[in-house]
């Protein structure tokens, strides 16, 4: 049977088989006890890494006390049990500014936990292009670049023009006023003049890492 | 020298070297004569396929008369010279409804022109899930799935949950009223409950094909 | 006389006669004393169930102390006096994810209090279609399905295509970023490719239950 | 087998069995020849009414010439073959103003074609309440009321408070300026102070009729 | 001289002469000491009523302690010194629901303080039309009707069709979801099918009272 | 009986009695024959002026041929029969720019047709304040000022501060880009720092004239 | 006297004295005869350049026939009489793509007509940064840079970080989908991470040139 | 080397050389220790003023304790070390209302810290035009005017018509309802009828001061 019905949740036990990774738990709105039950179910019926995203520190402590063996990354607000071994698929996480840090950290921590090699490049916003240009070679070595940028999100276009590999843009809600809580960056990244950029939801470092995992998954296929 | 200055345009001659594909010409707003000049420049200084997107039939005829050897796909509104040989990277283009056809066709024609193997799956919207489920295996065989859907864009979430490979969602401007010319589908695809889906601009079959090309590019890297 | 003027409120005493159910009190912005006065008036001049929605626990306790005989459902934030007997009209409440729980609970508790038979089906979001498909028969047995879903709201389209009975979609404000506090789900449900779906306000489990009551009302008419 | 693959379309042949009505064809974006092929397929593999919506007169003539036996309602832009026999389920279509006429007509013609009894009440906008009040009894006799209103959509709230049966509100794109092409009416109908109103997409007379069909479907169930 | 420069503010001393009423002070963002200084200046250089709007209770107490002789209406959050004598210009304030109370109260208290005769009619939302119809004559006796309504704001259209006098509609931010914090009501009131309705800013009971004052002002002109 | 049912329309014959003016016909979406029928009904059952708004020239000619005795103002797109005698209620129509002319003309022509005295003041936008200041006295003599302005709509605020009488602001859809087809002017006029300004729908010269009529109506009441 | 009242327009004759440049005529919505009258008035009462913007070719011909001595730039849709002598204030107009050409041309032609030295740099979008970097020195030599860019508008941020002089960003309505007709570029330019960038209205090459004129004006002041 | 990599930030040391001013630190989201490290780096490698914006008082105290010699302006939430000497470039900061004070203060304090001469003119909103007109000469003496206004932002248009120098408009988020947190003012300022106005982000007093600095920079160039 492919689901476990916990009453308040229906855990998708088949996902690891279907997509190469157990279901990832979205933390907000769940009681610590609910998270504990889901995590235990996932650990028991899967073999891969188990993650819970967007968990505040207090909840994390309660859950870890009940389900030992996990780790908590406070900047990324991420709980991880059984992290995967690192593969040779290399992801570069490029963040435009210091305030994009938490989202970049979520992308990096999730990516690492699911087995991707991660390199982070911070504070390379386009207002000082030489900072970005100095990192171009490092970005080009990656198999995918996750670009994390708020405000006007211009970094995605600039990176998109510099590298040949997939670019996954994450708009962030940093900034104020006309940034419209990340909506401006999201729209701008879609309207980008650089061809072939793709975009995930606002502040979704998690989504970007999962998109990169899909790439890595295909790369591992026998040909 | 890496650019050719035609006065009205500055052609990026270095792009083929940098990203594996010559610059693609965006047709709207350009005179036939301007397109001719750019295409000739690209053909002369690059070796790969040369494409012009969103070209109406009349303009296409004028351009083809001046620059022989190209082909025109009217459904996709695409001009192509020197199409690339098809590689073993397989893209499935899944369209939710018949009215999403032109965007799906642009995705498929561009993908084919730049060397990707393309399989199209039409009319598999979620209002009749058995149509989608019957195609699941074909979608799973692909290296990437381009999901083309307007209205509420739910097909992207459903496909995202069925396959393990990268999913590139293209919202379309089909539908009316609350569809808001594709904005609703774009937002919905971003808010999708399926993890790791990425999204490109509204009606941008071109952008989706280019995103798939980036994947194929990485796959070809020596490891 | 059909209204009772309490100064701060004009209670519609005729509504039970007109629509089969006493006026339901909307809690927010009302003082406990005001709620007490309205509830007493409704209990005195009507014979059916009396409900107050969106009441926080502290207010609920104060009101229940002043007007004994009622019950409080904290998850649904609902106060009920004189719940109706359950009829044979069966409503299925299908929720896409765990975080849609409170809205689903409001729908279920209100529906039960006004006499509808309720069955809840949780965590059947389209990212794992087999979960939904496994519940199809249970959904088809219902006389109406209330679909509660945030993020992109795709569950409404999928259910709409599976069942023949009325589908009442409730967009929720769960999720973040491009979900726009439920506006994206609301628009997406309207743009749905499944024909004949209807939609109520964001997070309005109450509205969905009342819409189902209207259906049940017609069903009871002599023919 | 439950679908017929016409290449450009995948016709859902199972829908009549699943939902009591053959798939309805959405006309825009389809060539006359495509419509002909789909209609022939539906007529051949189903027994119920076959409809094509939003068809302009010229296309309608071409299709009817190829597939005789159908009828065309120009105001509703609707093509119908094999209309269903009228049942005793009575729908009232109430339109706020003369300019809401085409949408009301689509609702009425579709409803009639799929077997519902239809009564139309026009020009009962709330700016002259006595017009609405004079029709109250006729509205109360119906099993469902479809309210068609543009501008501010207030008619839905007023009707919602007058009748006990299901109210399906259709916002229309009539009006100008602050009406925002129907978006204002859609939002206003959702925010309505009348409980249990449901809403369909802007200008979707078709959607409202289909929602009414779902009600009638449940009513016919053996109990 | 027509202004008093207090450094942090430039008090418009000429306004009473120009518009028949001293400048009204907008409370938010001002320190109690600043309010005190402005109020003293206005009292010293004008002869009419002096008002401060949107003042929380604590600030009000501090200001009243420093400038005796004033009164505070907590529901309306209004400070008043030297209220005007009531004239024979009659304003009816009609509120759709109990939760619109604070805005209605601001409208009523400001109107009273600047000399208008005020009658309040509460809880006459269109979901129970008989409540409104029972008050029609009282509304018709007024020289102007201020309609205060949130959610879908339909009360403005209904009143607009019932009375011949000026109707000033105040959208409120009550409600949730599709009400969009009052924006839906504002747009709906503008799109109203009732001719000659005017609208003021969301939650601006103050603005509506001032608009009524302008009417009264013209009425007092010698003819 | 207070309505005349023409099948396609329900003419409100009671309105002249209720509001002092026969129902005004909204032209768009009506066939010439329908307008003729409504106008004839209104002329036969009322005694006051009969107006049809937003009528293009060709339709106007057809209607006038069938119902002689009327006049057509092409700039205002207005048809009028039996214009009212001019009263001593003076309306000033102030337009910000030349391109606001058609809306200002509609306001002026409607106002004149329903008996208001009209004076038009054109091209007094705030970019050249001396133009407005030179007209201040003329504006102050009016009983109401209709301010017609597109772009940023700042004229409403400026006039609101200069005159004591009612100010009815009409946002127009002139301008481009950030003007958002009049939405920016509408919002800006609501957010105006000048107290007591009221606003009508975008481009609704008609609505502004009707609002002024309501003022005049009250002024004529016996006191 | 500082204005000339032409009936349909009130020409601001004082503007040349006040701001150093005669009033510029906005073409749309004006009849050729109206433009002729205004231009003649401006030529007669001022000494500087007289411009009419956004004039289509046919209108331009009619006006030039009536008022000889002017010139018409069709790309910029600009009419000019008495262009100013070129000063030493140097403006660089940098356009991101070929389709931004018409707006860039308006900026350049207006700037030249009012006496600024203009240098145009085309097709330097950030998707190919080397094109921009190759022009950095030319941009740095300018006294002000006008950046014309649609889509995501990222060029403004990049230029803002490269030069020290004033940057005036002009969002354009080029692109499609998420570009939202230029609104995305406008918002993105405001949210830019480059400090001190200023923005003008969508497609307003004219506005940018006028902003540059204000700079030049200050530069000419005696110190 | 032109950047200093602090791990969490990449400080742009070249900016002083490139743009005449060290990088300004954006405070929100940075820990006090991070600010201290960045400030020390900037002080060590540059010679000009070092600023940190949007710093709350507590953070400011912690940073100042660690890096002595700086000053804190609490109204502007600004930290400054080594303020520049005042030049003869004169900026006038004109604020529409008292509640725009904090933004105006940020503009003024930043401008002063980077060497501009500053004069502040408060409370000159257009609802009392004589207040603005009385200050016209002072505004005309400035080399640039920063206009700070929320609500409808009309002050920008009025000032734009009065002065010949550059006008930098700062929309503020003051006001409520239709002001949409400053978005209305931003749009209105862009749609302004006064030519050549430029706009910066909502509440960005900092951005306006930096834009003025760019002007001053050009003025200092040798000619």
Please write the tens of the pLDDT for every residue from D54-65: 999 999 999 999
CA-to-CA dists, residue F146 to F91, F169, F201, F206, angstroms: 7, 6, 13, 11
Compare CB distances from G128 to B12, B173, B182 and report the shortest one's residue.
B12
Average pLDDT value over all residues in chain H: 94
With contact defined as beta carbons under 8 Å apart, do H32 and H63 qualify? yes
Do you know the residue count of chain A?
Answer: 223
Residue G196 contacts by C-beta under 8 Å, 6 or more apart in sequence? G160, G166, G167, H207, H209, H210, H211, H212, H213, H214
With contact defined as beta carbons under 8 Å apart, do B170 and B144 qualify? no
* Residue in the block written with tokens 């430029």: H198
Residues of chain C in contact with residue B177, where contact means CB-CB under 8 angstroms, are 190-191
The pLDDT tens digits for E10-34 are 998 989 999 999 999 999 989 999 9
Using pLDDT thresholds of 50, 70 and 90, give the confidence band for residue A71.
Answer: very high
CA-to-CA dists, residue C220 to C23, C223, D98, D165, D209, angstroms: 20, 9, 34, 11, 21
Q: Is F101 on the interface with G (CB under 8 A)?
A: yes
With contact defined as beta carbons under 8 Å apart, do G172 and G72 qualify? no
The whole-number pLDDT of residue E220 equals 85
CA distance F4 to chain D (A): 10
Q: Is H98 in Cβ contact with E30 (below 8 Å)?
A: yes
Q: What is the token pair recorded at C17?
A: 């006669």
Per-residue pLDDT, averaged over B92-109, amounts to 95
| In the predicted structure, residue A165 carries a pLDDT above the cut 60 | yes
Query: Residue H136 — left, alpha, or beta (φ > 0 → left; ψ -120 to 50 → alpha)?
Result: alpha
Query: Residue A20 — left, alpha, or beta (φ > 0 → left; ψ -120 to 50 → alpha)?
Result: left
Q: Looking at this predicted complex, what is its ipTM?
A: 0.95
With contact defined as beta carbons under 8 Å apart, do E53 and E78 qualify? yes
The whole-number pLDDT of residue C163 equals 96
- Chain B, 60-89: which have a CB under 8 Å from a chain A CB? 88
Sign of the Cα torsion E205, E210, E214, E220 reads positive
Q: Is E174 in Cβ contact with C14 (below 8 Å)?
A: no
CA distance A133 to chain C (A): 30
Average pLDDT value over all residues in chain B: 94
Compare CB distances from E202 to H101, H131, H177 and report the shortest one's residue.
H177
Q: Is C6 on the interface with B (CB under 8 A)?
A: no
Candidate CATH numbers 2.40.50.100, 1.20.1560.10, 3.40.1210.10, 3.40.50.1970; the one for domain D90-220: 3.40.50.1970
Q: Is C184 on the interface with B (CB under 8 A)?
A: yes
Residues of chain D in contact with residue F208, where contact means CB-CB under 8 angstroms, are none
Residues of chain H in contact with residue E19, where contact means CB-CB under 8 angstroms, are none
Average pLDDT value over all residues in chain D: 94
The CA-to-CA distance between both ends of chain A, in Å, stands at: 31
CA distance A12 to chain C (A): 7
* Residue in the block written with tokens 């209100």: C110
Size of interface C-D (CB pairs under 8 A): 99
Per-residue pLDDT, averaged over D202-222, amounts to 94
CA distance F110 to chain H (A): 27
Q: For residue D126, what is the enclosing H or E element? A: none
Per-residue pLDDT, averaged over F64-81, amounts to 97
Q: For residue C132, what is the enclosing H or E element? A: helix C129-133
In chain E, whose CA is at the least distance from the CA of F194? E207
CA distance D97 to chain F (A): 8
Instruction: Enter the DSSP assignment of B47.
Output: -
Residues of chain D in contact with residue B127, where contact means CB-CB under 8 angstroms, are 12
The whole-number pLDDT of residue D38 equals 97
In chain E, whose CA is at the least distance from the CA of D194? E127
Per-residue pLDDT, averaged over A150-159, amounts to 92
Q: Is H163 on the interface with G (CB under 8 A)?
A: yes
DSSP-derived 3-state class of residue A105? helix
Residues of chain H in contact with residue A176, where contact means CB-CB under 8 angstroms, are 201-204
Per-residue pLDDT, averaged over G180-202, amounts to 94
Helix axes A205-219, A101-113, angle to 10 degrees: 30
Q: Is H129 in Cβ contact with F133 (below 8 Å)?
A: yes
- Judge G/F contact: 3 or more CB pairs < 8 A: yes
Compare CB distances from B128 to D12, D29, D186 and report the shortest one's residue.
D12
C89 — phi, psi (to 5°)?
A: -85, 120
Using pLDDT thresholds of 50, 70 and 90, give the confidence band for residue A7.
Answer: confident
Q: Is E2 in Cβ contact with H99 (below 8 Å)?
A: no
Average pLDDT value over all residues in chain F: 94
DSSP-derived 3-state class of residue A100? helix
Compare CB distances from D193 to E127, E133, E177 and report the shortest one's residue.
E127
The whole-number pLDDT of residue F221 equals 84
With contact defined as beta carbons under 8 Å apart, do H150 and E201 qualify? no
Using pLDDT thresholds of 50, 70 and 90, give the confidence band for residue D150.
Answer: very high
The whole-number pLDDT of residue H221 equals 84
Q: Which residues pair with G168 in a beta bridge?
A: G146, G198
The CA-to-CA distance between both ends of chain G, in Å, stands at: 31
With contact defined as beta carbons under 8 Å apart, do C155 and C127 qualify? no
The whole-number pLDDT of residue C193 equals 83
pTM, two decimal places: 0.96
Q: What is the token pair recorded at D129?
A: 């309440």
Chains that touch G (3 or more CB pairs under 8 A): A, B, F, H
The pLDDT tens digits for A91-128 are 999 999 988 999 999 999 999 999 999 999 999 999 88
CA-to-CA dists, residue B214 to B105, B144, D75, E197, angstroms: 19, 11, 50, 57
The pLDDT tens digits for B154-169 are 999 999 999 999 999 9
Q: Is B131 in Cβ contact with D12 (below 8 Å)?
A: yes
Residues of chain H in contact with residue F179, where contact means CB-CB under 8 angstroms, are 187, 191
Residue D113 contacts by C-beta under 8 Å, 6 or more apart in sequence? D49, D51, D78, D80, D83, D84
Residues of chain F in contact with residue E16, where contact means CB-CB under 8 angstroms, are none
Extents of the domains making up chain C: 3-81, 90-220
With contact defined as beta carbons under 8 Å apart, do F74 and F94 qualify? no
G218, G221, G222, G223: best to mutate for the H interface, most H CBs within 10 A: G218
With contact defined as beta carbons under 8 Å apart, do E181 and E173 qualify? yes
Size of interface B-G (CB pairs under 8 A): 50
The whole-number pLDDT of residue E221 equals 84
In chain C, whose CA is at the least distance from the CA of A200? C178
CA distance B214 to chain A (A): 5
CA distance B196 to chain A (A): 4
Compare CB distances from B29 to G99, G127, G128 and report the shortest one's residue.
G99
Residues of chain E in contact with residue H97, where contact means CB-CB under 8 angstroms, are 26
Using pLDDT thresholds of 50, 70 and 90, give the confidence band for residue F199.
Answer: very high
The whole-number pLDDT of residue D128 equals 86
Using pLDDT thresholds of 50, 70 and 90, give the confidence band for residue D140.
Answer: very high
Q: Is C128 in Cβ contact with A15 (below 8 Å)?
A: yes
The whole-number pLDDT of residue C7 equals 87
Using pLDDT thresholds of 50, 70 and 90, give the confidence band for residue C219.
Answer: confident
Q: Is B182 on the interface with C (CB under 8 A)?
A: no
| In the predicted structure, residue E1 carries a pLDDT above the cut 60 | no
Q: Is C41 on the interface with E (CB under 8 A)?
A: no
| In the predicted structure, residue E65 carries a pLDDT above the cut 80 | yes
Output the 3-class SS for chain E.
Answer: CCEEECCCCEEECCHHHHHCCCCCEECCCCCHHHHHHHHHHHHHHCCCCEEEECCCHHHHHHHHHHCCCCEEECCCCEEEECCCCCCCCEEEEEECCHHHHHHHHHHHHHHHHCCCEEEEECCCCHHHHHHHHCCHHHHHHCCEEEEEECCCCHHHHHHHHHCCCCEEEEECCCCCHHHHHHHHHHHHHHCCCCCCCEECCCCCHHHHHHHHHHHHHHHCCCC
The whole-number pLDDT of residue H220 equals 85
With contact defined as beta carbons under 8 Å apart, do F39 and F67 qualify? yes
- Chain A, 108-147: which have a CB under 8 Å from a chain H CB? 122-124, 127-128, 130-131, 134
The pLDDT tens digits for G108-147 are 999 999 999 999 999 999 988 999 999 999 999 999 999 9
């Amino acid at each position: 049977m492919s689901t476990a019905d916990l009453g308040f949740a229906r855990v998708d036990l088949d996902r690891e088989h279907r997509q190469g990774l157990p279901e990832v738990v979205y933390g907000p709105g769940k009681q610590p006890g609910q998270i504990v039950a889901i995590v235990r179910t996932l650990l028991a019926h899967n073999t891969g890494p188990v993650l819970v995203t967007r968990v505040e520190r207090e909840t994390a402590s309660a859950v870890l006390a009940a389900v030992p063996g996990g780790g908590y990354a406070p900047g990324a607000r991420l709980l991880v049990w059984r992290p995967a071994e690192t593969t040779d698929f290399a992801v570069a996480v490029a963040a435009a500014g210091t305030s994009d840090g938490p989202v970049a950290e979520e992308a990096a921590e999730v990516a690492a936990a699911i087995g991707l090699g991660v390199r982070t490049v911070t504070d390379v916003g386009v207002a000082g292009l030489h900072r970005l240009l100095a990192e171009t070679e490092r970005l080009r070595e990656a198999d995918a670049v996750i670009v994390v940028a708020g405000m006007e999100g211009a970094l995605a276009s600039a990176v998109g023009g510099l590298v040949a590999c997939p670019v996954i843009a994450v708009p962030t809600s940093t900034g104020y006023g006309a940034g419209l809580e990340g909506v401006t960056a999201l729209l701008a990244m879609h309207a980008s003049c650089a061809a072939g950029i793709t975009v995930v939801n606002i502040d979704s470092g998690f989504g970007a890492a999962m998109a990169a995992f899909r790439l890595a998954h295909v790369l591992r296929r026998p040909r």
